[in-house]
Structure 1
Amino acid sequence: MTPSPARTRATARTTTRTTTRTTARVLAAAAGCAALLATSGCGSASVGAASSTPVVGLITKTADSGYFKALRAGAEQEGSALGVTVRSYAGTGESDTATQIAAIKELEAMGAEGILITPSGKDVLPAIAEARQKGLLVVALDSPTDPADAVDTTFATDNFAAGRSIGQWAARNVDPARARIAMLDLSDAQVPVDVARDQGFLSGFGIDLADPSKIGDEKDPRISGHAVTGGDAAGGKAAMEKLLAADPKINLVYTINEGSAMGAHEALQAAGRADQVTVVSIDGGCDGVKAVAAGQIGATAMQFPLRMARLGLDAVIDHALTGDVPSSSPGLAFFNTGSQLVTDKPVDGLYSKGTDWAAKSCWG
């Protein structure tokens, strides 16, 4: 679930963007030559024969999420700079693997250079394996696969580290000895991102984990309970209402993302307890940053989807030009694109940035 220490220390690639953009234009020119080979006499080329520009696919779990919109924006911006066509596809939900499989096959048929994907589940792995066998570089964004080497490389947030940072902040703001904690998760399934954030938060707060590969397998009496949110405000509100009914003394709420955090705040406000409960979250979307500034969320951990998409696209283009695979060096299959603790209530010994900075760096 969580990248190994060697992987979490890995940084993004050292190839300069200037070089990448220059070579990408060469690739685009080669593609144009391939398309006109019969009449232009410009020489052979093995890429992009079906298009005047190289094609890279971006496949996300859904289309309407602000986070996935940011991924798409980052890929399209970088594609425009590189002279690459980005074809975007999206599923109808977090577990819609059928749409992702169909998109992979379509990209294979059109001769795409590679695929950027936020994989929805294990059912998509055989299609990814087939695409790789046909020479496409497949890069996971945001959501690591299990096993990790099912793709060529992954650009994503170290979600355990992001969760740990908000847990550490929470431990400085809520007395750990008196904590009553509500855990608002994504789903009942053991989704790697969900598990990593959840367990990172608990670790940062100082709670020992019985099984760090699962949600809900803790033996600490300070945890009032877990509830599923689906990652949105309506789910967050319902989950918070459920947990408050079981334990009205909850004073700390962890949420999988800021949408569910805002729903939790609504429930707390209706119960007259919003000013007595600390809420922490993860994502760093612009709405979430506004919620931190308004005091609805005490702290969040910002992640950087545009950075993921840009680095992923650069990796595909470099592979098309040189054959280089970013994960070919041991321990470098996972590239941590970073996270940043955001709060307007900084604590000593814990690095954070305020909402003024975050409002200029947020996404969505």
Structure 2
Amino acid sequence: MRQRSLTALALVAAVAVGTAGCTVERHWGGSTNTAGSGKAKIGLVTKTDTNPYFVELRNSASAAAKANGADFSALAGQFDGDNDGQVRAIENLTQQGVNTILITPSSSTGVLKAIKDARDAGILVIALDTATEPPDAVDATFATDNFAAGQQQGAYVKAALGGTDPKLLMVDGTAGSSVDTERHGGFLKGIGLTDASPEIKGHTAANGDQSLAQQGMENLLQRTTDINAVYSMNEPMGRGAYAALKARGLTGQVVMGSIDGGCEGVQNVKDGLYATTVMQFPKKMAEQGVLAAVQYAKTGKKPAGFVNTGSAVITDKPMPGVPSQNTAWGLQNCWGGTK
């Protein structure tokens, strides 16, 4: 993270938040702004500050805020699933006087009370990447249609199997999260299976973590190596699964898909670690969230509903009936939207 000068008040706040388990990045002091004042004061809360996806989202939001003359602060949980850390972050930002909070909730339900308190205080709350349950717990959501992204991955894997029945292992994310549930369900629809299908030979939950995915896949492969397909919920877990498959000499017999579309993930597809990834566009989410915050600060007008920021299949082995882009396009557009 780039070095930034901090006011004495922000430094005190940073120490306080750090002891509570959140990461902080600030561009402003502690003055209060309200909707209609003309000055957007934006707080971003991500699931973690280490996952490359959320780093890109944070950096894009920071750049968009700077370009639009908005004050900006970023906080994060310590790990994917750190609901308490996100609640503390929302409370901290509310005390700091932001007029918009952008959040990628680790739990779709666990932050609802904190979000309600923020909205009751007049703060615009926008979910990025991950919807809340219910969706109207926030003012609006700018995100990937995760079910559709999973369905795209499943359709590709099915087509790549060429009519052969799948023998599938599934590497899921954080159990119970809406992103995990939607991508998992979408993939099964795309490949033509259900959770009860005998073609599913095993699954493991890895919380988005590469090491946990490798360990989980190693455990699954101790039970069976008679597989030809792997679902991975995101690219770090895809890399972990690949490492376990490679150690067993199984990479040549498996079609694996993933979702994220980061530059490293697209390079993974180009290098043959997995056959496809479905690209998301976090830069779009961040930029649209910041623009909505700027408008709210100027006019008091709030966005509403779900805005799908899109997804695209990336592969160098296109399949009939599955629209896709190649890795050259993917490396030009990874996480940044089309140019």
Equivalent residues in 2 for 1:1-364 (5 A)? Answer: 54-121=40-107, 122-187=109-174, 189-207=175-193, 209=194, 218-327=195-304, 333-363=305-335
Contact 2:34 2:99 in 1 (8 A): no
Name the TM-score, length of structure 2 as normaliser.
0.85
1:48 and 1:54 in contact (8 A); partners too = no
- The whole-number CA distance in structure 1 between the counterparts of 2:83 and 2:241 is 29
Contact in 1 for aligned 2:147/2:182 (Cα 8 Å) = yes
Q: Counterparts of 2:164 and 2:34 in 1: how far apart (Å)?
A: 64
SS at the partner of 1:123? Answer: coil
Structure 1 residue 265, shift from structure 2 partner: 1.0
Tell me how far apart the structure 2 counterparts of residues 319 and 205 of structure 1 sit (CA, whole Å).
42
Q: Deviating runs (4+, > 4 A) in structure 1? A: 45-49
Alpha-carbon spacing, 1:46–1:353, altered in 2? closer, same or farther (3 Å): closer
For structure 2, the 5+ residue unaligned runs are 1-30
CA distance in 2, matches of 1:269, 1:117: 37
Pairwise CA distance, 1:53: 5.2
* Pairwise CA distance, 1:313: 1.1
Are the counterparts in 2 of residues 341 and 351 from structure 1 also a CA contact under 8 Å? yes
What one-letter code is carried by the residue in structure 1 that aligns with 2:111? V
Cα separation, 1, equivalents of 2:216 and 2:322: 30
Query: CA separation of 1:136/1:348 partners in 2, compared to 1, >3 Å: closer, same or farther?
Result: same
Q: What's the counterpart of residue 12 of structure 1?
A: none
How far off is 1:68 after superposition? 0.6
CA distance in 1: counterparts of 2:88 and 2:216, whole angstroms: 34
In structure 2, C-alpha distance between the alignment counterparts of 1:109 and 1:190, rounded to whole Å: 30
Distance 1:339 1:134 in 2: 34
Q: Which amino acid aligns with 2:72?
A: V
Offset, 1:95: 2.1
Residues 322 and 84 of structure 1: is their aligned pair in 2 closer, same or farther, counting only changes over 3 Å?
same
Q: What is the CA–CA distance in structure 2 between the aligned matches of 1:273 and 1:98, rounded to whole Å?
A: 40
Counterpart position of 1:5? none
Whole-Å separation in 1 of the counterparts to 2:92 and 2:181: 32
Distance in 2 of aligned mates of 1:95 and 1:232: 12
The C-alpha deviation readout for 1:205-228, integer Å capped at 9, x for no partner, is 112x3xxxxxxxx22111111111
SS of equivalent residue, structure 1 residue 244 = helix
Higher Cα Rg, which structure: 1
Q: Confirm or deny: 8 A CA contact 1:303 1:338 kept in the other structure.
A: yes
8 Å contact from structure 2 (residues 101, 126) kept in 1? yes
SS at match of 2:149: helix
List gaps (5 residues or longer) in structure 1: 1-34, 36-44, 210-217, 328-332
- Aligned letter for 1:145? T
Name the CA distance, whole Å, in 1 between partners of 2:87 and 2:36. Answer: 21
Deviation of residue 54 (structure 1)?
Answer: 3.2
Cα displacement string for residues 265-300 of structure 1 (whole angstroms, at most 9, x for unaligned residues): 111111011111111100001111111001111011
**CA–CA separation in structure 2 for the residues paired with 1:48 and 1:89:** 25
Aligned-residue offset at 1:60: 0.7
Give 1:175 deviation, angstroms: 4.1
For 2:238 and 2:326, how far apart are their aligned partners in 1? 18
Please give the secondary structure, in 2, of the residue aligned with 1:259.
helix
Kindly indicate whether the alpha-carbon contact (under 8 Å) linking 1:66 and 1:363 is maintained by their aligned counterparts in 2: no
Tell me, in whole angstroms, the C-alpha distance in 2 between the residues paired with 1:222 and 1:100.
Answer: 38
**2: CA distance, partners of 1:278 / 1:107:** 44
Q: Percent identity?
A: 43
TM-score, scaled relative to structure 1: 0.80
Q: Separation in 2 of the partners of 1:47 and 1:179? A: 53
| Cα distance in structure 1, aligned partners of 2:213 and 2:115 | 33
Query: Secondary structure, in 3 states, of the residue corresponding to 1:112?
Result: coil
**Cα separation, 2, equivalents of 1:125 and 1:341:** 33
